[in-house]
Amino acid sequence: MRSAQLTIDPAFSIGPADRRLFGSFVEHMGRCVYGGIYEPGHPNADSRGLRRDVLELTRELGVSVVRYPGGNFVSGYRWEDGVGPVGDRPRRLDLAWKTIETNAFGLDEFMTWAAEAGVEPMMAVNLGTRGVQEALDLLEYANHPGGTALSDLRRKHGAEDPYGVRLWCLGNEMDGPWQVGHKTADEYGRLAAEAARAMKMIDPSISLVACGSSNRRMPTFAAWEATVLEHTYEHVDYISAHTYYDPSDGDQASILASAVDMDNFITEVVATADHVAARQRHKRKLKISFDEWNVWYESRLQADLDRRGWVEAPALIEDDFTAVDAVVVGDLLITLLRHADRVGVAAQAQLANVIAPIRTRNGGPAWRQSIFHPFALTARYARGTVLRTEPVSPRYETKKYGDVPVLDTVAVHDEETGELTVFAVNRDQTDLPLDIDLRGLPSMSGLSFQSIAAGSDPSATNTEAEPDRVTPREMPTPTPDGGRCTVRLPAVSWNVLRFGPTSA
């Protein structure tokens, strides 16, 4: 039987495990807002229409930051439509998703929801159909204390204190020809730079995200980043990256190696940003905001859009995620952590119903999809300093990514508690014995070992009728001796192994 080895040493540190890596995304798309986080009249909704069951699951998921209101939606959005008395708000055509937007939910409702959920808001401004002035207006409404037309309007609407939103996205996927108001890299770069400069005049404490490519397969990828950053580097704090992995073709070997692609994507964006920094003589290293990532059965989207005319909050891309998808999501989280020195923010897309860890039925229950579990466990245990692990692993061949290792790992060391957590994926179709050498941490005991294994039932999903088919299983706790132990990672599995200092 094949086996693998892993050496972990607290001296090999990458950087702090930033809480902002555990972000999510709420877009006005499908039933993410309407019927997801917000459903007035639902038996579980509060007096403001916020679904308490979804709020509870959001807290359990461990989400830190939530991007809003889009996504493609933001590129045609007028934020002013979503504030003030609900009865006065206009109904609009949303061109991104061919939907009627009622505007019953808007900025103030989102801020109330974010406070209840205990998450940091991350706002996006519309640089598709709008420009610098509208971005400034939104920032003044949200962050200026008072005494001006727009800050006083916010106070009149019931929010006396400014919202103090720290993270702002300068548009969304502006490289994509599907985007309303799509631009060339030079057009977008100029606009983003001017919006950024002016926004920081209103509030210098904000951090700004320039749009990178919509994915690594875009024909303009890397050239787009280079041009946009030539214009914006000195004004922004992050460049965005987005990626989705589509399992529709049934090529399990490749989908399990999706993290290899994400890893290369991050390395290439970092190299491009560093190239611009070198040309422009910047000392400050730019970070990535990986503000859309997930598994997505993307080939089904067109059917969803073709099926209907203009309607309110239709069910859109409500993918049922499998046990294999959970392993892939866990591996993507491993990759984000491994790049904690250069990825400062990340947001899984999306939070509720739309390719989401949380599913709901209108008027009915809410439940955890398979992908909920690796996210929740990683957000709970990845605390402290991310450590570089040194795996020695067997390899296998994939159609999409060539020869890849079967084992993928990262470790996080919490200096305060002394605890060490190892996240490990076995992409192999058979169990993988793994020898772990906790070098520099010789007196550790095993605390727990949890596993999501997809080997025996790869297509298992969690449904309303069977919400707990895919959940983490307890495995035999490892027992290190002199800092060494061997564990058995089940076939096709995502695993979390926890160790703590042995008490004297």
Q: Which residues are catalytic?
A: 173, 292
Q: Does 451 bind ligand AHR (CB under 6 A)?
A: no
CA 87, CA 343: separation in Å to the nearest integer?
42
- Cβ proximity of 433 and 1 under 8 Å: yes
Q: Give whichever of 214 and 378 is closer to ligand AHR, judged by the CB atom.
A: 214
Could you tell me the smallest distance in angstroms from the CB atom of residue 303 to ligand AHR? 16
Could you tell me the smallest distance in angstroms from the CB atom of residue 214 to ligand AHR? 6
What DSSP line would sit under 146-179, residue for residue?
A: SSSHHHHHHHHTT--S-----EEEESS-TT-TTS
Q: Does 27 bind ligand AHR (CB under 6 A)?
A: yes
Q: Give whichever of 174 and 273 is closer to ligand AHR, judged by the CB atom.
A: 174
Which are the contacts of 434, defined by CB distance < 8 A and separation ≥ 6?
A: 3, 4, 5, 6, 407, 424, 426, 486, 487, 488, 489
Q: Does 350 bind ligand AHR (CB under 6 A)?
A: yes
Which are the contacts of 28, defined by CB distance < 8 A and separation ≥ 6?
A: 69, 70, 71, 73, 77, 94, 101, 105
Could you tell me the smallest distance in angstroms from the CB atom of residue 158 to ligand AHR? 29
- Cβ proximity of 126 and 76 under 8 Å: yes
Q: Give whichever of 54 and 475 is closer to ligand AHR, judged by the CB atom.
A: 54
Q: Give whichever of 69 and 384 is closer to ligand AHR, judged by the CB atom.
A: 69
CA atoms within 13 A on the CB side of 356: 31
Q: Which region, judged by CB under 6 A, interacts with ligand AHR, from 53-61, 65-73, 390-398, 469-477? A: 65-73
Q: DSSP 3-state assignment of 224?
A: helix
Strands (E), 172-217: 207-210
Could you tell me the smallest distance in angstroms from the CB atom of residue 29 to ligand AHR? 6
Q: Which region, judged by CB under 6 A, interacts with ligand AHR, from 8-16, 68-76, 122-130, 398-406? A: 68-76
Q: Indicate the angle between helix axes 52-61 and 372-381, nearest 10 degrees.
A: 50
CA 387, CA 9: separation in Å to the nearest integer?
7
Q: Give whichever of 71 and 330 is closer to ligand AHR, judged by the CB atom.
A: 71
CA 411, CA 190: separation in Å to the nearest integer?
41
Could you tell me the smallest distance in angstroms from the CB atom of residue 24 to ligand AHR? 11
Single-letter code of the amino acid located at 245: Y
Give which of 419, 378, 501 is closest to 17, Cα–Cα. 378
Phi, psi of 7 (to 5 degrees): -110, 130
Q: Does 172 bind ligand AHR (CB under 6 A)?
A: yes
Out of 8, 286, 349, 441, which residue is the one contacting ligand AHR (CB under 6 A)?
349
Could you tell me the smallest distance in angstroms from the CB atom of residue 236 to ligand AHR? 18
Give which of 357, 405, 397 is closest to 379, Cα–Cα. 357
Q: Which region, judged by CB under 6 A, interacts with ligand AHR, from 2-10, 64-72, 363-371, 381-389? A: 64-72
Contacts with ligand AHR, 69-108, as mask; x by CB under 6 A: -xxx------------------------------------
Q: Does 348 bind ligand AHR (CB under 6 A)?
A: no
Q: Which region, judged by CB under 6 A, interacts with ligand AHR, from 67-75, 139-147, 205-213, 390-398? A: 67-75
Q: Indicate the angle between helix axes 107-117 and 132-143, nearest 10 degrees.
A: 50
- Cβ proximity of 125 and 170 under 8 Å: yes
Which tokens in the block code for residue 451? 């596993």
212-251: which residues touch ligand AHR (CB under 6 A)? 214
Which tokens in the block code for residue 373? 């579990």
Contacts with ligand AHR, 277-316, as mask; x by CB under 6 A: ---------------x------------------------
Could you tell me the smallest distance in angstroms from the CB atom of residue 301 to ligand AHR? 9
Q: Does 262 bind ligand AHR (CB under 6 A)?
A: no
Q: How many residues interact with ligand AHR (rule CB under 6 A)? A: 11
At which residue do the structure tokens 């548009």 appear? 171
The residue nearest ligand AHR at its CB is: 71
CA 82, CA 85: separation in Å to the nearest integer?
9
Interface ranges with ligand AHR (CB under 6 A): 27, 29, 70-72, 172-173, 214, 292, 349-350
